[in-house]
């Protein structure tokens, strides 16, 4: 199983003292070091699962040219009209539709680009750490935003931290070209991702639906190319 590089410090943290305790148990014959090692081993195993980075269909089969894919695993919170309660001017300018995906602490947290194109804008904004399922988190929480452009097509997506997520990793920047479904970062320990597409796109998911990053089509452009 592939592990995202950002996960190794979190795995090694509990694994190192667990190994020392297990070694002490063997050398001394005492039972308590072995018992104390088990919770640490369990934590290391959870970290390995949390930072897992499985391959998805987009890694072997090119997505359709008009498909916008889910950028993450999780449950759809918003699908269609921009979220009610988002502060005026907070959504990207123009007529947009929104798809938001909530990631729980057991979902894959590696993030993927929902569409292809050149990164024409990239920004990071500090903020609060509200629970990611609350609507206020869309405009109050810490986030990273990326704007992609492919010809006359533009997609904007955001990594937004949640109550447990305290670090956004964005592995792209202005001038970089991303492919649909390409890995571009991750968020640590619970979060959400918002994708904004123009109104001409057809939304392909519904609220409450489970989606898989790099596989589930969340919207489609009109087939004009």
Q: How far apart are the first and last CA of the chain?
A: 38
Q: Which residue has the tokens 């009209």?
A: 81
**Has 122 been annotated as catalytic?**
no
CA atoms within a 13 Å half-sphere pointing along the CA-CB vector of 8: 4
- At residue 20, the 3 state secondary structure works out as helix
Q: What is the DSSP string of 82-148?
A: PPTTPPTT-SPSSSEEEEEEEE-TTS--EEE-SS-EEEEEEEEE--B---TTSTTHHHHB-EEEEEE
Active-site hit among 70, 137, 144, 191: 191
What positions carry a catalytic annotation? 191
């Amino acid at each position: 199983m592939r592990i995202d590089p950002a996960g190794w410090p979190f795995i090694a943290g509990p694994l190192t003292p667990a190994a020392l305790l297990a070694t002490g148990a063997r050398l001394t014959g005492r039972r308590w070091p072995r018992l104390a090692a088990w919770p640490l081993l369990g934590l290391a195993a959870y970290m390995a699962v949390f930072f897992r980075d499985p391959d998805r269909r987009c890694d072997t089969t090119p997505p359709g040219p008009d498909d916008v894919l889910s950028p993450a695993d999780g449950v759809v919170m918003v699908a269609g009209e921009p979220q009610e309660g988002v502060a005026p001017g907070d959504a990207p300018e123009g007529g947009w539709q929104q798809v938001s995906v909530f990631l729980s602490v057991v979902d894959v947290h590696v993030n993927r680009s929902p569409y292809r194109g050149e990164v024409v804008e990239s920004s990071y904004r500090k903020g609060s750490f509200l629970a990611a399922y609350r609507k206020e988190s869309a405009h109050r929480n810490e986030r990273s935003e990326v704007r992609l452009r492919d010809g006359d097509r533009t997609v904007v997506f955001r990594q937004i931290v949640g109550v447990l997520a305290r670090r956004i990793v964005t592995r792209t920047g202005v001038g970089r070209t991303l492919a649909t479904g390409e890995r571009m970062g991750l968020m640590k320990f619970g979060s959400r991702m918002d994708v904004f597409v123009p109104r001409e796109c057809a939304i392909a998911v519904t609220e409450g639906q489970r989606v898989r990053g790099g596989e589930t089509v969340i919207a489609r452009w009109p087939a004009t190319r």
